[in-house]
């Protein structure tokens, strides 16, 4: 395992080194999703649930696309576009649908000068939606659920 000197160590042997390890992104995404599920299950920190589940959703979704399959967001986007056209005769862009689906997550991750410092959305609902997307992507990718995912799905059905 390689080691890297901490910034500012100037190569001095007296300063600590940090081991560099290799990590599987799919495993890290699963860990993020499991952490999000744990936070959600105790009703705690829905903003972190959104960002953690959102990160897992994005990684799982990209892994799906890389293998030629569609992500939960891809499928939802196609459905929303088709419904809009059928009911209202209006075309909605995939970009617009994705923007809405990712608005809460992106609002919590990105801010630029000039953007509002106050965001408005239902944190619990957005957390639930992002968890569902990440779990859907995990299922499509692995065709398995962890106990935490099963518990979340059962609780959603009972609600």
When the pLDDT of each residue in the chain is averaged and rounded to a whole number, the result is 91
State yes or no: pLDDT of 135 exceeds 90.
yes
What is the SS3 assignment for the chain?
CEEEECCCCCCCCCCCEEEECCCCHHHHHHHHHHHHHHHHHCCCCHHHHHHHHHHHHHHHHHHHHHCCCCCHHHHHHHHHHHHHHHHHCCCCCHHHHHHHHHHHHHHHHCCCCCCCCCCCCCHHHHHHHHHHHHHHHHHHHHCCCCHHHHHHHHHHHHC
What's the pLDDT band for 7 if we cut at 50, 70, 90?
low
CA angle, 31 then 123 then 137, to 5°? 40
pLDDT score recorded for residue 132: 97
What's the pLDDT band for 6 if we cut at 50, 70, 90?
low
CA angle, 82 then 83 then 87, to 5°? 120
Task: Read off the pLDDT of each residue in 141-146 and give the average, rounded to a whole number.
Answer: 97
Q: How much is the pTM?
A: 0.84
State yes or no: pLDDT of 13 exceeds 80.
no
What's the pLDDT band for 121 if we cut at 50, 70, 90?
very high
Task: Read off the pLDDT of each residue in 86-107 and give the average, rounded to a whole number.
Answer: 92
Report which of 147, 158, 159, 157 is spatially closest to residue 37, judged by C-alpha positions.
Answer: 147
């Amino acid at each position: 395992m390689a080691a890297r000197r901490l910034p500012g160590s100037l190569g001095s042997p007296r300063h600590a080194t940090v081991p560099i390890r290799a990590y599987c992104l799919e495993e890290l995404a699963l860990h993020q999703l499991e952490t999000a599920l744990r936070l959600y299950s105790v009703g705690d920190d829905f903003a972190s649930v959104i960002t953690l589940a959102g990160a897992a959703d994005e990684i799982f979704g990209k892994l799906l696309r890389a293998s030629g399959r569609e992500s939960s967001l891809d499928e939802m986007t196609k459905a929303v576009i088709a419904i809009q056209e059928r009911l209202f005769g209006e075309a909605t862009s995939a970009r617009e649908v994705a923007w809405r689906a990712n608005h809460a997550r992106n609002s919590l991750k990105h801010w630029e000068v000039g953007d509002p410092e106050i965001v408005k959305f239902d944190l619990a609902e957005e957390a639930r939606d992002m968890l569902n997307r990440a779990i859907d992507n995990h299922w499509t990718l692995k065709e398995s659920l962890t106990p935490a995912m099963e518990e979340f799905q059962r609780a959603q059905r009972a609600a």
